[in-house]
């Protein structure tokens, strides 16, 4: 697909790949546009073919046609833009991947500020972009790593669908107490609320299904610590922390789930270090690595000695 942003519009040059298909097929099957959004596009004349607004989308396209979709409309950010230093590891017209520092929430709760969403709003504002801040997934406040944001509504729905189908792969690194003997494994245990604690979760037969895959990356026998690589099939609150604690290997410095403190580390030793997926519009394979923050690097250097 050859596409370029032109003001509020995405201008797509039809190539051999899409010749003979209808606009409806392209929107529904290629870009996974939901019915409600399709209806909005029709009512607001947000789709054009060769500069002519379409009232229905059953028209076939030919090679060389230009399909225009009004994606980049003005929207309120939904949060107050706030300057917080962040790193952007990938960005195009449709999405961005941001490194979340430990110690801030992904998005505001009950109107609070100083979150990653506020920082992303400031970044967008500095680029002259006015659009709702749409995070596709989240990380716990004290977990660092990469988070995907959509830059318009259609990108948001497409990325949400990829996440739902487990087609956004996220790899985490965790330092845990004890020597994990199995080189790899899967924890398939349901997770629910802990009625004895307002924020803690626990393994519970009545909870939601949760699947965590792990493999041993490195063992530090002198310090009785193992470094794990982790991937998730589900995204339950505190899932990695709960499952590893249940396994008998709580994350280092994760006090809520039984981890002991570590020198120089004020939060759990958990980091989302890699994100990969197929771009919903270009089909390009996106592979982004998010460097370890200084506190985890210092922990790693210390326990390697």
Residue 179 shares a structural domain with residue 264: yes
Mean pLDDT of 276-305: 95
Confidence at 283, pLDDT banded by 50, 70, 90: confident
Question: What pLDDT shows up at residue 253?
Answer: 97
Residue 6 shares a structural domain with residue 47: yes
Confidence at 112, pLDDT banded by 50, 70, 90: confident
pLDDT reading at 110 higher than 80 = no
pLDDT reading at 160 higher than 90 = yes
Residue 210 shares a structural domain with residue 224: yes
Q: Which residues pair with 124 in a beta bridge?
A: none
For the chain, what percent of residues have pLDDT higher than 90? 90
Question: What pLDDT shows up at residue 30?
Answer: 85
For the chain, what percent of residues have pLDDT higher than 70? 99
pLDDT reading at 1 higher than 70 = no
Boundary (domain end) residue, out of 50, 70, 90: 70
263: number of CA atoms within 13 Å, CB side? 6
The pTM assigned to this predicted structure is: 0.94
Residue 263 lies in a domain: yes
Question: What pLDDT shows up at residue 305?
Answer: 81
Contact between 109 and 258 (Cβ < 8 Å): no
Question: What pLDDT shows up at residue 225?
Answer: 98
Give me the catalytic one of 24, 76, 92, 140: 140
Residue 153 shares a structural domain with residue 227: no
**Domains of the chain: total:** 3
pLDDT reading at 46 higher than 80 = yes
Residue 103 shares a structural domain with residue 132: yes
pLDDT reading at 109 higher than 90 = no
Boundary (domain end) residue, out of 109, 135, 165: 165
Residue 243 lies in a domain: yes
Question: What pLDDT shows up at residue 111?
Answer: 66
Give the domain extent around 116. Answer: 74-165
Mean pLDDT of 121-130: 97
Question: What pLDDT shows up at residue 273?
Answer: 98
Q: Which residues pair with 225 in a beta bridge?
A: 177, 220
Residue 19 shares a structural domain with residue 45: yes
Torsion on CA atoms 96, 99, 100, 106, rounded to nearest 10? 10
Residue 127 lies in a domain: yes
- Asked about 140 being catalytic, the answer comes back as yes
Confidence at 100, pLDDT banded by 50, 70, 90: very high
pLDDT reading at 267 higher than 90 = yes
Question: What pLDDT shows up at residue 31?
Answer: 87
CATH (domain of 117) = 3.30.2350.10
Summary mean pLDDT of the chain: 95
More confident position, 17 or 297: 297
């Amino acid at each position: 697909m050859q596409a370029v942003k032109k003001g509020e519009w995405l201008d797509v040059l039809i190539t051999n790949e899409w010749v003979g298909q209808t606009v409806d097929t392209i929107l529904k099957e290629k870009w996974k546009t939901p019915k409600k959004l399709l209806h909005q596009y029709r009512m607001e004349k947000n789709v054009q073919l060769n500069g002519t607004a379409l009232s229905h989308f059953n028209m076939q396209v030919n090679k060389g046609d230009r399909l225009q979709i009004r994606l980049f409309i003005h929207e309120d950010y939904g949060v107050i833009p706030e300057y917080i230093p962040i790193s952007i590891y990938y960005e195009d017209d449709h999405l961005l991947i941001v490194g979340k520092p430990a110690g801030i929430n992904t998005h505001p709760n009950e109107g609070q500020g100083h979150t990653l969403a506020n920082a992303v709003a400031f970044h967008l504002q500095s680029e002259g972009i006015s659009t709702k801040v749409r995070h596709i997934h989240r990380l716990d406040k004290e977990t660092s790593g990469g988070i995907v944001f959509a830059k318009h509504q259609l990108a948001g729905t497409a990325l949400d669908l990829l996440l739902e189908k487990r087609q956004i792969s996220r790899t985490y690194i965790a330092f845990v107490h004890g020597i994990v003997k199995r080189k790899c494994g899967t924890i398939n245990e349901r997770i629910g609320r802990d009625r004895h604690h307002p924020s803690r979760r626990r393994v519970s037969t009545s909870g939601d299904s949760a699947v965590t895959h792990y493999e041993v990356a490195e063992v530090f026998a002198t310090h009785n610590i193992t470094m794990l690589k982790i991937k998730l099939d589900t995204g339950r609150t505190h899932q990695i922390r709960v499952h590893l604690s249940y396994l008998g290997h709580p994350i280092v410095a994760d006090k809520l789930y039984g981890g002991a403190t570590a020198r120089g580390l004020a939060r759990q030793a958990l980091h989302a270090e890699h994100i990969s997926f197929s771009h919903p519009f270009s089909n390009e394979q996106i592979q982004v690595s998010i460097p370890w923050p200084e506190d985890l690097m210092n922990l790693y250097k210390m326990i390697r000695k």
